[in-house]
Amino acid sequence: MHANDNGHSDPLTQLVTLLARHMRHMSTADALLLEDQINIIRHGDDLSRITLAKNLTYKILRAEQARLSARGIPLTSNTYVREEYYPLDITLIHAAMDHFRLSDAYKTKMAEVANDVTDAMKRSKTLQYAQRNWHTMKDDQKIRALKIVQHLHEKHQKLGDLRCEMLTGLSFANIAMTRKNGDMNPKFFLAFQHNAFSNVFNNTSGSVIATAMDRMGSHIYYNTHNDNYFFRRSFAAAAGAMHHEQQHVFQGALAMAVHDGRIEQSNPYYRDARLFYLLTREKCYMPGNIPSLYRTQAIETDAFAFQTAMTRRLYRRFHDGAWADDPAQRAAYENSGCALFKKLKARIFGPRP
């Protein structure tokens, strides 16, 4: 999402407006620094823009931490930054990151992938059942369904001839939002994805074995506590959150393809893959507690776009799943030897539709 998708002008135009308001309060040194920053945004290369965005983000977080600590409040990932205190810095970051946008061709291709993934999900009897019975299913049944969701997404994620399947780990936790004393639980999360690809890209893994381990793939962590509103709300919402994290896995696979030279510069999606590679290598990621920056960075706009696309598709009933509305057929499925065999097979070989 571009800054002007939120109803604002483009970042540099907005910056000019802010400057007209703040310049008279600015020291000469600050004014010269700002001029250098604007020159980097307008004429610098990708690395200098990334460095500027990262440094300004650290500056905001340090200032916010100092402001909160004076009141005895810690700055955590769940503490939102008061963005109105840092208008110039945030606008500069928006302007720098505005150079890292995904192409229309990539977005169109992702819509096609979403259709392919949806078609595969429609054929899964387990997901047909889950779509109609999510609120009465046990957590272990829901987890099995989400494993299939992840597996089918991974199976169909590709860009042309470039397949992007990876070794993806899945972990499910059950963590409440608040502790027994009513305090916010700092360990609470909805879902997230982690990989160590930046170590590979920067040659900082260490040993050959460590590098091989860092290359192996990503890991998705998913919270199945009822405080996770995605998991609680519906099959479409719960699966949508899994698709969001799997899209981050896909981004990592594209970044690795650039690193390995498996995607040619003539490929229509090379620029998009290189974008993911640069942002991952340079660890350029806007934290969630600065919402306007978090939601507008390419890594998240892509993941949220895929999540939204899949959630909308999954709210539409699978026609082949009508059997799951019939109590007799539903009971037969739940108690069939086939279903029990599938559970055993899934434990041994992993999830399959």
Residue pLDDT, tens place only, 234-243: 999 999 999 9
Sheet strands side by side (includes 191-194): 169-173, 219-223, 191-194
Q: What percent of the chain has pLDDT over 90?
A: 66
Residue 2 has pLDDT above 50, yes or no: no
Mean pLDDT to the nearest integer, 195-220: 88
Instruction: Report the alpha-carbon distance of residue 245 to residue 247 in Å, rounded.
Output: 5
pLDDT of 352 > 70? The answer is no
| Residues 105-163: tens digit of each pLDDT | 999 999 999 999 999 999 999 999 999 999 999 999 999 999 999 999 999 998 887 87
Asked if 56 and 36 touch (Cβ cutoff 8 Å), the reply is: no
Average pLDDT, integer, range 21-33: 75
pLDDT at residue number 30: 81
Residue 17, pLDDT score: 66
- Determine the pLDDT at residue 164: 73
Residue 125 and residue 119: Cα distance in Å, rounded?
12
For residue 211, what pLDDT is reported? Answer: 86
pLDDT of the residue at 349: 54
Q: Looking up tokens 């229309």, which residue turns up?
A: 104
Question: How far apart (Å, rounded) are the C-alpha atoms in residues 154 and 310?
Answer: 14
Place of tokens 């600050």: 30
| pLDDT for 20 beyond 80 | no
At position 112, the amino acid (one-letter code) is E
pLDDT-derived band at 3, boundaries 50, 70, 90: very low
Q: What angle do CA 175, 181, 184 make, to 5 degrees?
A: 50
The residue that leads in pLDDT, 8 or 224, is 224
Q: How far apart, in Å, are the Cα atoms of 133 and each of 178, 331, 353?
A: 28, 12, 17
Q: What is the pLDDT of residue 52?
A: 97
How many Å apart are CA 353 and CA 348, to the nearest integer?
14
Give the pairing of strands 219-223 and 169-173: parallel
pLDDT tens digits, one per residue of 55-72: 999 999 999 999 999 999
Q: Given pLDDT bands bounded at 50, 70 and 90, which one contains residue 6?
A: very low
Residue 336 pLDDT: 66
pLDDT score at 21: 63
CB atoms closer than 10 angstroms to residue 20: 9
Pick from 228, 191, 143, 146: nearest CA to 303: 191
3-state SS, one letter per residue, for the chain: CCHHHHCCCCHHHHHHHHHHHHHHHCCHHHHHHHHHHHHHHHHCCHHHHHHHHHHHHHHHHHHHHHHHHCCCCCCCCCCCCCHHHCHHHHHHHHHHHCCCCCCHHHHHHHHHHHHHHHHHHHCCHHHHHHHHHHHHCCHHHHHHHHHHHHHHHHHHCEECCEECCCCCEEEEECCCCECCCCCECCCCCCEEEECCHHHHHCCCCCCHHHHHHHHCCCEEEEECCCCCHHHHHCHHHHHHHHHHHHHHHHHHHHHHHHHHCCCCCCCCCHHHHHHHHHHHHCCCCCCCCCHHHHCCCHHHHHHHHHHHHHHHHHCCCCHHHHHHHCHHHHHHHHHCHHHHHHHHHHHHHCCCC
pLDDT tens, position by position, 307-341: 999 999 999 999 887 888 877 887 777 776 555 55
User: What's the confidence (pLDDT) of residue 281?
Assistant: 96
Angle between helices 28-43 and 87-97 (to 10 degrees): 20
Categorize the per-residue pLDDT at 7 as very low, low, confident or very high, splitting at 50, 70 and 90. Answer: very low
| 279 touches 220 (CB < 8 A) | no
pLDDT at position 10 over 90: no
- Among positive and negative, which fits the CA dihedral 143, 145, 151, 153? negative
Mean pLDDT, residues 342-352 taken together:
58
The arithmetic mean of pLDDT across residues 169-196, rounded, is 90
What mean pLDDT is reported for the chain? Answer: 88
* pLDDT above 70 coverage of the chain, percent: 88
| Whether pLDDT at 231 is above 60 | yes
